[in-house]
Amino acid sequence: MSRLREAVVEIRDFFAGNLAYKGLALAFAVMMWVWVQSEQVVEERARVRLDWKLPDGLMLVEPPLETATVTVEGVQAFVRTVRQKDLSILLDLSRAREGEVSLDLSERPVAGMASQVRVVSVSPSTLKVQLDRVLERRVNVVAVIQGEPADGFRVGKVVVKPERVALSGPSSVLRGLSEIAADAVDISGLKEDAVFQVGLATQAGQLVPTLPARFSVEVKIEPIVKERAFEGVPVLLRDGESFVTGAQSVKVTLAGPVDRLNAIDPEEVSVLVHVPDGWNGNAGEARRGRGEGLRYEVVQPAGEVVSVVGVTPERIPVERR
């Protein structure tokens, strides 16, 4: 217990003893820190906004540079606050004329910079810009399609509404422009028509619509139509007890959407011959179609989506037993 008491006393004396010396040391440390903050010269980099002032009726051909980088030098206490400032450089071209203009950023003052801080350099230090007359013109709007529709389908008609847009921009860019692209639309996997709402795609140069521009892009999706031949299609008689046919099987060619054609099982395709009631003939030839007399039809499961291109032979002989 006495050892513990002695340890407590030693700790207390360590912190409480020599207070004058310890206070003096603390004061010296604080003075050194203040001196370093107030006297040490350092460099720092910061972003600075570029504010453009253009002449009436003229504009930049290329999008203007928005920011630059400044390197500053000064006492640490002031330099370390540079990044927190709203710094800007005014590029006043209000008296400039059409054509190329050279700008020296290093000679222009940085607004918002503390007077105790000196600008060492600006990057970029110089700029060359092209001023051009402002022109307005109406141009066509072109749809941009990305992706592919589902298997068995293809893109049909593409309609953009409205078809034209009024643009404002540099005359050197807009004068030779006849069309502008809308934002791309993705049609991947589509099986039916679709309508997309889009704006204008980003263009090189300073082209902007004179009014807020939104467009509808209607994409028509249609099935790919192909032909498929079925060999050995059986020929059946509706009245098989009284009549027979000389063709036991024929070749049938169908046309329609690829997916519907591929889904047809050959065993589901047949040719059905109709002998009209009261037919008195002993022999004849049935033709494909509807109406009176001997005729036949192609039976297949796809219905009207798939059409009959041809039957070989075209005429099917029928005889009375």
Residues 255 and 297 in one domain: yes
- Mean pLDDT, the chain, rounded, equals 86
Of 174, 196, 222, which one is at a domain's C-terminal end? 222
Total of domains in the chain: 4
Residues 114 and 171 in one domain: no
Using CB atoms within 10 Å of the CB of residue 196, give its burial: 0 to 12 exposed, 13 to 18 middle, 19+ buried. middle
The set of residues, in sequence order, having a beta carbon less than 8 Å from that of 211 and lying 6+ positions away, is 166
**In this predicted model, what pLDDT tens digit does every residue of 132-165 receive, in sequence order?**
999 999 999 999 999 999 988 999 999 999 999 9
Sign, CA torsion 130/132/135/140? negative
The answer to whether residue 269 sits within a structural domain is yes
The answer to whether residue 129 sits within a structural domain is no
Residues 145 and 217 in one domain: yes
Using CB atoms within 10 Å of the CB of residue 105, give its burial: 0 to 12 exposed, 13 to 18 middle, 19+ buried. buried
The answer to whether residue 304 sits within a structural domain is yes
Has residue 89 got a pLDDT over 60?
yes
Domain with residue 45: its CATH number is 2.170.120.30
- How many CB atoms sit inside 10 A of residue 271's CB? 24
Q: Which domain holds residue 194?
A: 135-222
Residues 232 and 316 in one domain: yes
**In this predicted model, what pLDDT tens digit does every residue of 251-262 receive, in sequence order?**
999 999 988 999
156 vs 219: CA distance, rounded Å: 7
Predicted pLDDT of residue 195? 97
Structure tokens at 70: 């400044």
95 vs 248: CA distance, rounded Å: 95
Q: Cβ distance 207 to 181 under 8 Å?
A: no
Domain with residue 168: its CATH number is 2.170.120.40
Coil, helix or strand for 85? coil
Residues 212 and 269 in one domain: no
Of 57-61, 90-94, 238-242, 306-310, the one with minimum mean pLDDT is 238-242
The answer to whether residue 130 sits within a structural domain is no
- In the sheet with 215-223, reading across from the earlier edge strand, the strands are 153-161, 215-223, 194-198
- How many CB atoms sit inside 10 A of residue 293's CB? 14
Residues 208 and 165 in one domain: yes
**Residue 39 binned pLDDT confidence (cut-offs 50, 70, 90):** low
Predicted pLDDT of residue 5? 66
